[in-house]
């Protein structure tokens, strides 16, 4: 019976977060369009803020509950969501429709995300994220938002703006308020169900946070980017992922660390040695993929989805203490990773040769 109740809470929490995220995004995009902000900036700021709201409320709720279990879910939710966003959200969106990448993402946003990811990993390597770390991350977020605001007017291009999502101000505000209420409720239900499930099944909170919770709270990103890709709005689809991953670290980890009290948030050794490096590696992989022809192809999308499948397999094998875990990791490092690198480099060279022939 406890298993069924925990499962129901997890599903109900995900559905509430999904609905809340959708309402929040709709209201946010409408307000942004009323202010005449270009789509790429909307994706990197307003949409990513709305779709990151589930992660924010889940991690904050976990932090406020306190204890090692709450800390584990707060941190792993962010790390797992960032991995999910790059491998699943970008991958699935590219499978729906190849995504054309704007040069500013390669020049500015992805290097910034990579720098923030490495800095967060470094600050977490001491085993705790203190209020000082939180203050530093929130300061970084404020500086980035100021930068975005200063450059937004310079990046408006013909066709960047659309009136298709314009609704009256009162309706947009009502959607924001309703979405916020659902996000608060959904986060509480999901965290409660996830912790109960972990305790009942003997599964660590870290694994629950990296898989079920992170995937559940990333559903708004997935749906938003899939819909954007289907409608041919690659700017929103990609900007949503990059912006969400930035906010997950700067806003969510920053806020949770700042409010965690004098002891800070505990970060497990496994997160520091395994999951943070995976998060940084997936961010690093964006650079050659984005650069190769300025398009994320369907083949690259399938590769990203396949890598997330391997990540899930590793999580399951680690949880069940499978005897072949070390052999599996060796095969991934010795065979799969080199093959992926060769694939990305081959795509980049093919694009370069095609470009030279066209000239």
| Gap between the Cα atoms of 300 and 152, Å rounded | 30
73 compared with 356, residue with greater pLDDT: 73
pLDDT in tens, 227-284: 777 777 777 778 778 888 998 899 899 999 988 878 888 898 888 998 899 999 888 8
Confidence band, pLDDT 50/70/90 cuts, at residue 358 = low
Q: Which residue has the higher pLDDT, 350 or 132?
A: 132
DSSP 297-315: -HHHHHHHHHHHHHHHHHH
Q: What is the mean pLDDT of residues 152-169?
A: 54
Q: Is the dihedral of CA 188, 191, 195, 197 positive or negative?
A: positive
Mean pLDDT of the chain: 78
Q: For residue range 40-56, what is the model confidence (pLDDT) as tens digits?
A: 666 666 677 776 777 78
Q: What pLDDT is stored for residue 280 in this prediction?
A: 92
pLDDT tens sequence across 79-138: 988 998 899 988 898 888 887 777 677 778 888 999 999 999 999 998 899 989 999 999
pLDDT value for 160: 47
Angle at 93 (CA atoms; ends 231, 34), nearest 5 degrees: 45
Whole-number pLDDT of residue 249: 92
Q: Are 160 and 233 in contact (CB under 8 A)?
A: no
Judged by average pLDDT, the poorest of 149-158, 176-185, 218-227, 264-273 is 149-158
Does position 313 have pLDDT exceeding 90, yes or no? no
Confidence check: pLDDT of 38 > 80: no
pLDDT of residue 28 exceeding 90, the answer is: no
* CA angle, residues 209, 261, 273, in degrees to nearest 5: 40
Element housing 204 (H / E): none
Residue 223: predicted pLDDT: 73
- pLDDT of 157 reads 47
pLDDT for the residue numbered 171: 84
* pLDDT at residue number 154: 55
User: How sure is the predictor about 60, in pLDDT bands with cuts at 50, 70 and 90?
Assistant: confident
Tell me the C-alpha distance between 357 and 359, whole Å: 5
pLDDT at 334: 79
Question: Does the pLDDT at position 352 exceed 70?
Answer: no
Tell me: pLDDT of 165 over 60: no
Please say whether the beta carbons of 78 and 55 come within 8 A. yes
Judge whether residue 8 has pLDDT over 50: yes
Instruction: Name the residue with higher pLDDT: 337 or 44.
Output: 337
Distance of alpha carbon 266 from alpha carbon 114, whole angstroms: 23
State the Cα–Cα distance between residues 266 and 318, nearest whole angstrom: 21
Residue 163 predicted with pLDDT over 60: no
Over range 44-72, report the average pLDDT. 75
What is the separation, in whole angstroms, between the first and last Cα of the chain? 68
Note the pLDDT of residue 124. 92
Q: Is a pLDDT exceeding 90 seen at residue 347? A: no
pLDDT at 348: 65
| Residues ≥6 apart with Cβ < 8 Å to 204 | 72, 198, 319
∠ Cα 53 57 59 (to 5°): 115
């Amino acid at each position: 019976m406890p298993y069924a109740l925990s499962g129901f809470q997890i599903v109900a929490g995900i559905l509430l977060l999904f609905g809340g995220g959708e309402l929040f995004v709709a209201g946010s995009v409408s307000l942004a369009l009323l202010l005449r902000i270009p789509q790429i900036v909307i994706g990197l700021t307003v949409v990513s803020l709305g779709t990151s709201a589930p992660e924010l409320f889940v991690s904050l709720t976990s932090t406020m509950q306190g204890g090692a279990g709450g800390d584990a879910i707060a941190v792993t939710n962010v790390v797992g969501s960032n991995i999910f966003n790059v491998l699943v959200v970008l991958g699935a969106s590219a499978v729906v429709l190849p995504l054309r990448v704007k040069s500013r993402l390669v020049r500015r946003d992805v290097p910034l995300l990579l720098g923030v990811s490495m800095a967060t990993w470094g600050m977490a390597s001491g085993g705790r994220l203190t209020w000082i770390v939180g203050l530093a991350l929130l300061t970084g977020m404020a500086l980035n938002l100021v930068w975005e605001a200063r450059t937004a007017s310079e990046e408006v291009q013909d066709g960047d703006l659309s009136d298709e999502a314009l609704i009256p101000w009162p309706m947009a505000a009502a959607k924001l308020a309703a979405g916020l209420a659902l996000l608060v409720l959904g986060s509480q239900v999901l965290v409660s169900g996830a912790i109960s499930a972990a305790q009942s099944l003997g599964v660590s909170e870290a694994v629950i946070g990296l898989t079920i919770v992170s995937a559940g709270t990333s559903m708004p990103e997935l749906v938003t980017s899939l819909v954007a890709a289907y409608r041919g709005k690659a700017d929103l689809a990609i900007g949503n992922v990059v912006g969400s991953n930035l906010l997950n670290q700067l806003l969510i980890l920053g806020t949770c660390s700042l409010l965690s009290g004098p002891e800070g948030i505990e970060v497990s050794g496994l997160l520091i040695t395994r999951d943070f490096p995976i998060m940084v590696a997936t961010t690093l992989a964006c650079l050659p993929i984005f650069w190769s022809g300025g398009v994320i192809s369907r083949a690259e999308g399938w590769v990203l989805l396949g890598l997330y499948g391997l990540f899930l397999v590793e999580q399951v094998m680690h949880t069940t203490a499978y005897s072949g875990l070390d052999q599996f990791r060796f095969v991934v490092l010795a065979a799969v990773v080199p093959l992926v690198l060769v694939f990305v480099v081959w795509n980049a060279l093919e694009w370069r040769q095609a470009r030279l022939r066209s000239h």
